[in-house]
Structure 1
Amino acid sequence: MPRAPIPTWCFALVVVRRGDHFLIVQESKYGQPWYVPAGRVEQGESFASAAVRETLEEAGIPVRVTGIIRVEHSPSPAGARMRVIFLAEPTDDTPPKTEPDDESLGATWVTLDELANYTLRGDEVTELFSFVANGGIIHPPDIIQAEGVPYCAAGRSS
């Protein structure tokens, strides 16, 4: 008997760092707390592309993904959730957006010490920023590959 597919929801979260500052966005839902740019991966979109898109939509900041902090998979009887938490850097000096829209109420750069002045969605924001600031292990972004991409030895291109 065939098995039913497992519903899986995929999300990209982005820790954007510029020197000793980190980017946070004020959400237009969940009681309007501050969080990292994040959102669901759309059909046909890669995790990395979703990270870049979500950061631009929510914060107005163009970014380049520089690494992966962690990949999370949370199965449950109802389905599964996957989250890829990226590290990124801005590609230029565009200031964070200040005009509210459907994506967010605005965005700003903060230091770790300044986070205490904001109502955060949870402890995860502080934990992530501290992890990065304290030299936590960051994996290369190309650790995630599409199926069928050739396997290559380190330092060699195909």
Structure 2
Amino acid sequence: MKTWNGASVIVINNNKLLIVKSKSEQKWSIPTGGIEKEETSEEAAIREVFEETGYTITILNHIKTLSKLVKEYKVTVDYFLGEVHSGEMLNNDPDDEIEEIKWITISEYDDIDWMYPEDEIFIKSYIKPGGQYV
């Protein structure tokens, strides 16, 4: 069985969530990508956010690791909470897979067509009652 290891980041700034839209799927997700050889999952998370959005982030903490089977792959994804410390919105994706980047408010959250439904529920758990992200 093949394996794929990745990293995903929940990035919050001014009570808005950073999301990216896939060209091929035409759906939204948090910044996510594969871990390259000789790279830690945290390094991959930081690199992927920069490539997909133009922002440089600081990892605040590791949230969880998700493992599942997807077709012929054993997929393992490390999830992090990150904070922007510099940069500007810019698509630097070397895979040319990102169509759009945007920040969404909590009121826009349920209107998004999410690529990974299991992430949608999980990410929403980071919203405080009263409309702020944790």
TM-score over 0.5 for the pair: yes
Gaps spanning 5+ residues in structure 2: where? Answer: none
In structure 2, how many angstroms separate the alpha carbons of the residues matched to 1:11 and 1:90?
20
Amino acid paired to 1:19: N
User: Counterparts in 2 of 1:23-62, with a 5 A limit?
Assistant: 23-30=18-25, 32-62=26-56
State whether residues 97 and 106 of structure 1, in contact with CA within 8 Å, keep that contact through their aligned partners in structure 2.
no
Q: How far is the alpha carbon of 1:76 from its aligned partner? A: 8.1
**In the alignment, which residue of structure 1 is the partner of 2:80?**
86
State whether residues 24 and 97 of structure 2, in contact with CA within 8 Å, keep that contact through their aligned partners in structure 1.
no
Q: Which has the larger radius of gyration?
A: 1
1:97 and 2:90 are equivalent in the alignment: yes
The two structures have a TM-score, normalised by structure 2, of 0.80
Q: Which runs of 4+ in 1 moved over 4 A?
A: 75-79, 98-101
Gaps spanning 5+ residues in structure 1: where? Answer: 1-5, 139-158
Identity %: 24
The two structures have a TM-score, normalised by structure 1, of 0.69
In structure 2, how many angstroms separate the alpha carbons of the residues matched to 1:10 and 1:52?
15
In structure 1, how many angstroms separate the alpha carbons of the residues matched to 2:45 and 2:99?
18
State whether residues 16 and 87 of structure 1, in contact with CA within 8 Å, keep that contact through their aligned partners in structure 2.
yes
RMSD: 2.8
State whether residues 22 and 129 of structure 1, in contact with CA within 8 Å, keep that contact through their aligned partners in structure 2.
no
State whether residues 16 and 104 of structure 2, in contact with CA within 8 Å, keep that contact through their aligned partners in structure 1.
yes
Where is the strand percentage greater, Structure 1 or Structure 2? Answer: 2
User: Counterparts in 2 of 1:119-134, with a 5 A limit?
Assistant: 119-134=113-128
Cα distance 1:77–1:117, how it changes in 2: closer, same or farther (>3 A)? closer
In structure 2, how many angstroms separate the alpha carbons of the residues matched to 1:86 and 1:112?
19
State whether residues 26 and 35 of structure 1, in contact with CA within 8 Å, keep that contact through their aligned partners in structure 2.
yes
Larger RCO of the pair (alpha carbons < 8 Å, separation 6+) = 2
Please give the per-residue CA displacement for 1:35-70, whole angstroms capped at 9, x wherever unaligned.
110011111111001101111111111111111121
Q: How far is the alpha carbon of 1:27 from its aligned partner? A: 1.1
